[in-house]
């Protein structure tokens, strides 16, 4: 059998495919537009693997998506493809609307047309799994309970508003056409192959180059961090055992202020990559700087993942210390990967964003 993954050259999608093919013989069709965030080097370990078949395609290109879906007849489509960086959505929101809303609408249409054409067992087993974010629920005060699946949608950035729209479309395709959908809303991920514009890889990369670690505002914003492989195992659980039409929140039960996160990161860097020689600083902590806050910066995200734990028997394996250690070790041993993604375009973004 076959599954079709969109956005499989990005951070979570590539980890998902690597993990999938190390546990299964089932073929993976990977369609990805290869934006700045998509990188085939993430899948370099699968170069000789005939079970991974890649196509450079936009999910909004209905003609090609339909052809590929009809040709490979997947038993499931897992949609990771998205514009995913909040700061870029503040800078230029239009691409977010194009991919995260119009693209998802067209992909749903292609999937629905295919699903309607199936019969018997194939129709029964088909699933469309949409990977979404906890950011659709908005921001919490310090004393509010964590997000459950029934929280109201209150997105605050163009990114989260576009993801919220896509979640609604996914739900509507189930309610209106019967398409067997599943939706997951996950907290902040970290781990190997994350593009170094997000907090953790940006800070590892900057620290190793002895550059400033730029904290937005007071650094007391709270995020719930989940190691990427734990997110992948949750998606697998939802795909295999989730109830059609249901939403599952996924989180690490690991709320940290950004300052706490950076403190752990700096301690691990001091241990794993001690500063020596000509460098004037004694700890990576000395690189911390405070800069202007992000507009509309969400104060706190927290996920209540009781439902997926109870109903699907899912648990994360890593705690923050073990996950961060693996992540830092990966970035230290993969400097070539980092050099290749931090090209001219990337440098322009960093110069503009942190000017």
Catalytic residues: 134-135, 159
* Token pair recorded at residue 3: 């599954």
CA–CA distance, 247 with 324 (Å, rounded to integer): 28
Among 4, 37, 136, 207, binds ligand NAD (CB under 6 A): 37
Radius of gyration of the chain, Cα coordinates, nearest whole angstrom: 20
Q: How far is the CB of 198 from ligand NAD (least distance, A)?
A: 7
Q: Does 221 bind ligand TYD (CB under 6 A)?
A: yes
Query: Taking the CB of residue 337, how many other CB atoms lie within 10 A of it?
Result: 18
CA–CA distance, 30 with 54 (Å, rounded to integer): 5
Helices (H) and strands (E) in the chain, counts: 14, 12
Q: Does 7 bind ligand NAD (CB under 6 A)?
A: yes
Q: Does 191 bind ligand NAD (CB under 6 A)?
A: no
Interface with ligand NAD: number of residues (CB under 6 A): 30
Contacts (CB under 6 A) with ligand NAD, residues 55-94: 58-60, 80-84
CA–CA distance, 130 with 274 (Å, rounded to integer): 42
Q: How far is the CB of 8 from ligand TYD (least distance, A)?
A: 20
Q: How far is the CB of 68 from ligand NAD (least distance, A)?
A: 12
User: Residue 214 binds which one of ligand NAD, ligand TYD, none, with CB within 5 to 8 A depending on kind?
Assistant: ligand TYD
Among 4, 12, 111, 237, binds ligand NAD (CB under 6 A): 12
Write the interaction track for ligand TYD spanning residues 237-266; mark x where CB under 6 A is met and - where it is not.
Answer: ---------------------x--------
Closer to ligand TYD by CB, 180 or 214: give it: 214
**CA quadruple 135, 139, 143, 146: dihedral, nearest 10:** -20
168 contact partners, CB below 8 Å, separation of at least 6: 153
**Helices (DSSP H) in the chain: which residue ranges?**
11-23, 62-72, 86-91, 94-97, 104-117, 120-125, 158-177, 199-208, 228-241, 258-272, 306-312, 320-333, 335-341, 344-353
Near ligand TYD by CB under 6 A, which window of 71-79, 115-123, 209-217, 239-247? 209-217
Angle at which helices 11-23 and 228-241 cross, to 10°: 60
User: Residue 195 binds which one of ligand NAD, ligand TYD, none, with CB within 5 to 8 A depending on kind?
Assistant: ligand NAD
Which residue's structure tokens are 């079709």?
A: 4
Q: Which residue is nearest to ligand NAD (CB)?
A: 10
Q: How far is the CB of 97 from ligand TYD (least distance, A)?
A: 18
Among 30, 89, 157, 189, binds ligand NAD (CB under 6 A): 189
Q: What angle do CA 123, 126, 132 make, to 5 degrees?
A: 145
Among 223, 231, 256, 300, binds ligand TYD (CB under 6 A): 223
**157 with 135: CB under 8 angstroms?**
yes
| Interaction site with ligand TYD (CB under 6 A) | 86, 188, 198-199, 202, 214-216, 221, 223, 258, 294
- The contact set with ligand NAD (CB under 6 A) reads 6-7, 9-13, 32-35, 37-38, 58-60, 80-84, 99, 103, 131, 133, 163, 186, 188-189, 195
């Amino acid at each position: 059998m076959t599954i079709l993954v969109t956005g499989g050259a990005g951070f979570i999608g590539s980890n998902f495919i690597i993990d999938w093919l190390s546990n299964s013989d089932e073929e993976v069709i990977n369609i990805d537009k290869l934006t700045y965030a998509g990188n085939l080097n993430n899948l370099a370990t699968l170069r000789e693997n005939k079970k991974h078949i890649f196509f450079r395609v936009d999910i909004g290109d209905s003609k090609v998506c339909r052809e590929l879906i009809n040709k490979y007849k997947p038993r499931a489509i897992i949609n990771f493809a998205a514009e995913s960086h909040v700061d870029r959505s503040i800078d230029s929101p239009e691409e977010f609307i194009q991919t995260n809303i119009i693209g998802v609408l067209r992909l749903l249409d292609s999937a629905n047309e295919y699903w309607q054409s199936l019969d018997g067992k194939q129709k029964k087993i088909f699933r469309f799994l949409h990977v979404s974010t906890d950011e659709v629920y908005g921001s919490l005060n310090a004393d509010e309970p964590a997000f459950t699946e029934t929280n109201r949608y209150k997105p605050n950035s163009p990114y989260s508003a576009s993801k919220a729209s896509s979640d609604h479309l996914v739900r509507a395709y189930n309610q209106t056409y019967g398409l067997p959908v599943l939706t997951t809303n996950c907290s902040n991920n970290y781990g190997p192959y994350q593009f170094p514009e997000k907090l953790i890889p940006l800070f590892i990369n900057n620290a190793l180059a002895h550059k400033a670690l730029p904290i937005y505002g007071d650094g007391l914003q709270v995020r719930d961090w989940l190691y990427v492989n734990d997110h992948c195992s949750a998606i697998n659980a939802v795909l295999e055992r989730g109830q059609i039409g249901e939403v599952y929140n996924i989180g690490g039960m690991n709320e940290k202020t950004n300052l706490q996160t950076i403190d752990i990161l700096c301690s691990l860097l001091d241990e794993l990559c001690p500063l020596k020689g000509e460098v004037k600083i004694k700890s990576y902590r000395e690189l911390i700087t405070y800069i202007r806050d992000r507009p509309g910066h969400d104060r706190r995200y927290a996920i209540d993942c009781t439902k997926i734990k109870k109903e699907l028997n899912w648990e994360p394996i890593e705690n923050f210390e073990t996950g961060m250690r693996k992540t830092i070790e990966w970035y230290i041993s993969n400097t070539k990967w980092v050099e290749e993604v931090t090209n001219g375009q990337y440098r322009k973004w960093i110069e503009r964003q942190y000017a």
